[in-house]
Structure 1
Amino acid sequence: MKRLSLALIVALLRTLSVLPYKFVARLGMVVGTGLYALPSRRKHIVLVNLRLCFPSKSSSEHEKLARAHFSHVVRSYLERGIQWFGSARSIRDIVQIDSKIDLDDDHAPPTIFMGFHFVGIEVGCMLYSTRFPVASLYTRMSSTGLCDLAKRQRGRFGAEMIERATSARKVVELLRSGKPVMLAADMDQGVDNSVFVPFFGVPACTLTAVSRLARLGRARVVPFVTEVLPDYQGYKLTIFEPLADFPSGSDVVDARRMNAFLEEQVVKFPEQYYWVHRRFKHRPPGIASVY
């Protein structure tokens, strides 16, 4: 059954990869709206996150935002067809880049590209890999078959895929060799190597890996965000200026800065952030679970 399920997923994604982009995007929005109407654990998680992070919004505003988010999430899943099985040109056609740094600089210092879990993160990373050498961290999925598929397709334009759990030494080697590394550290991965710092005023278990790797690899930290553009016009990958004085020497200070930067981006298009994840899965001692 697992092999059959994986084969059906591949067949669906291959089919979606040859359909017009705007059709697939619209289909995803429609399906996502329909799925939101059904009771689900993910819907509950989304609403809990929104109530915690936006307490001043009304219940109807939370519902509207959650519905829009579901549509964007499902749309991103369907667009995996283009991202995983489409040509490099098809990806370049739907993603524009706005970079505040010179991406063609042969003398650039070691660089960590710090991403965040917006629905467009994957297509932004894949677009970058069609143009420049890069390594990318990934987290292993529970399904071995799907994980292997994702790793293979995400790396098909030359990106070196590195499993997060075994990455530190390899990442440092790559940084010191001059290859940039893309990673995202805004999910709750457990209390080990993490600190509790505010995210929209709520204590969030936040990884300190970015600071540690930047320090060991003597690397600058460059944030990037991929935004879904309105009217089905594709995506915009924005690469920002490097964070100044980062790492600072304090994991707590650095984690606060990372979350503060992320908050600034989330408020621009809150429906596109990954609220389906249990961002507050782990809580400080003595504070009750929220899910």
Structure 2
Amino acid sequence: MDQLGFALTVALLRGLSLLPYGLVARLGSAIGAALYVLPSRRKRIVLVNLRLCFPDKTEPEYDDLARNHFRHVVRSYLERGIQWFGSAQSLNKHVEIDSKIDLHDKDAPPTIFMGFHFVAIEVGCILYSTRLPAASLYTRMSNARLCDLARRQRGRFGAEMIERSTSARKIVGLLRAGKPVMLAADMDHGIDNSVFVPFFGVPACTLTSVSRLARLGHARVVPFVTKVLPNYRGYKLTVFEPFDDFPSENDAVDARRMNAFLEEQILDCPEQYYWVHRRFKHRPAGAAAVY
């Protein structure tokens, strides 16, 4: 992205942040449906993932689910304007919160907030930082300008943005100092520090970082999920009870437990999970590539 393209992107996002949420959401949904009609690499990835994870569906069901997913994905890109440039008051107005723990507890034990890549994950992470100091792990984007913009806007309410490649020692230090750390471990980041465990019955390369960091930082692991509410009513952030007896002494057992929890959440709104990601990019030895 050249300088002009970047400037236009920022201007677009700023402009979208000034529009009513419902209008932006409807516009994104319409664009997503239109783009689904066109052949694309991302469309093929979505359909491959759906066929692997839901083998009992029919072709019309795959098509319908994939189209609804495109609606949500493109909509989430446009809503990024509100999320990155909207005020804290605006964000709080659009998010309904259901938390099983006290989010204002300044004496809480070391905590890892474990998120998952639903289309609304962005707003859930940003919202928490409007309430208490937190650190959030991110993956560097290939476009440096866009990456810097995302990091700056995601952290504008005080969140400490930490690149995923940062040493575990720093993250453990933050946990022991009482600063919650938000991270997601449900994407394929390569076989290093990962194990293959089932995800909807398919071996998926799954990070073990949550277990290792929780063990080193003596931290509880609290899952959270942000989902899009129907009828353009905004979002719902659900913060669950901490995982019991987690981490165990077996990283593979813990990884499977994370995937099982995620599966339950996906079944509630399968169109909102981030199927455009190549979740099965890396395969076990001897297994054929799927993309």
TM-score normalised by length of structure 2: 0.99
Tell me the residue number matched to 2:44. 44
Instruction: String of CA shifts for 1:18-57, please: whole Å, max 9, x gaps.
Output: 0000000000000000000000000000000000000000
Q: Is the 8 A contact 1:49 1:279 kept in 2?
A: yes
Q: Which residue number corresponds to residue 67 of structure 1? A: 67
- Asked if 2 retains the 8 angstrom alpha-carbon contact of 1:115 and 1:224, the reply is yes
Alignment check: 8 A CA contact 1:137 1:167 kept: no
Helix, strand or coil for the counterpart of 2:191? coil
The equivalent residue for 2:170 is: 170
Whole-Å Cα distance in 1 between the matches of residues 42 and 169 of structure 2? 35
In the aligned structure 1, how far is the partner of 2:15 from the partner of 2:26?
16
Once the 2 structures are TM-superposed, how far is the Cα of residue 70 of structure 1 from its aligned partner?
0.4
What is the DSSP-based 3-state SS (H/G/I as helix, E as strand, rest coil) of the residue aligned with 2:16?
A: helix
Whether the 8 Å contact between 2:137 and 2:162 is mirrored in structure 1 is: yes
Task: Determine whether 1:199 maps to 2:199.
Answer: yes
User: 2:118 touches 2:226 (CA, 8 Å); kept in 1?
Assistant: yes
Amino acid at match of 2:178: G
Quick one: distance in 2 between partners of 1:171 and 1:113? 13
Which residue of structure 2 aligns with residue 143 of structure 1?
Answer: 143
Give distance in 1, aligned partners of 2:284 and 2:171.
30
- Deviation above 4 Å: which 4+ runs of structure 1? none
Alpha-carbon distance in structure 2 between the residues aligned to 1:93 and 1:191: 40
**1:202 Cα deviation (Å)?**
0.1
Q: Please say if residues 47 and 66 of structure 1, whose CA atoms lie closer than 8 Å, have aligned partners that are also in contact.
A: yes
Match of 1:284 in 2: 284
Deviation for aligned residue 1:259: 0.2
Separation of aligned partners in 2, 1:173 and 1:109: 13
Counterpart CA distance in 2 for 1:124 and 1:184 is 12
Q: CA RMSD in A?
A: 0.7
Q: Does 1:240 align with 2:240?
A: yes
| Offset of residue 105 of structure 1 | 1.9
Q: Deviations over 1:55-91 (max 9, x none)?
A: 0000100000000000000000000100111111111
Cα offset for 1:167? 4.2
Mapped to 2, the partners of 1:151 and 1:69 lie a distance apart of: 25
- Looking at structure 2, the residues matched to 233 and 103 of structure 1 have their Cα atoms a distance apart, in angstroms, of 23
Q: How far is 1:106 from its partner?
A: 2.5
Q: Is 2:247–2:254's contact at 8 Å kept on the other side of the alignment?
A: yes
Distance 2:2 2:109 in 1: 44
Deviation at 1:189, TM superposition (A): 0.2
Q: Is the 8 A contact 2:29 2:71 kept in 1?
A: yes
Contact 2:104–2:131 under 8 Å retained in 1: no
Structure 1 partner of 2:183: 183
What is the deviation of 1:168? 1.4
Deviation at 1:129, TM superposition (A): 0.9
Q: Distance in 2 between matches of 1:236 and 1:49?
A: 25
For residues 27 and 168 of structure 1, the distance between their equivalents in structure 2, rounded to whole angstroms, comes to: 41
Cα separation, 1, equivalents of 2:53 and 2:60: 15
Distance in structure 2 (CA, Å) of the matches to 1:35 and 1:242: 39
The CA deviation string for residues 5-28 of structure 1, in whole angstroms up to 9 with x for no partner, is 110100000000000000000000
Q: Which residue of 1 aligns with 2:262?
A: 262
2:4 corresponds to which residue?
Answer: 4
- The answer to whether the aligner puts 1:14 opposite 2:14 as a matched pair is yes
Alignment length (residue pairs): 291
Instruction: Give the secondary structure class of the aligned counterpart of 2:268.
Output: coil
Unaligned runs of 5+ in 1: none
Looking at structure 2, the residues matched to 2 and 169 of structure 1 have their Cα atoms a distance apart, in angstroms, of 36
Hey, what's the Cα distance between the residues in 2 that align with 1:214 and 1:36? 40
- Matched with 1:56 is 56
Preserved CA contact (<8 Å) 1:94 1:234: yes
In 1, Cα distance between equivalents of 2:108 and 2:252: 28
Match of 1:91 in 2: 91
Aligned to 2:118: 118
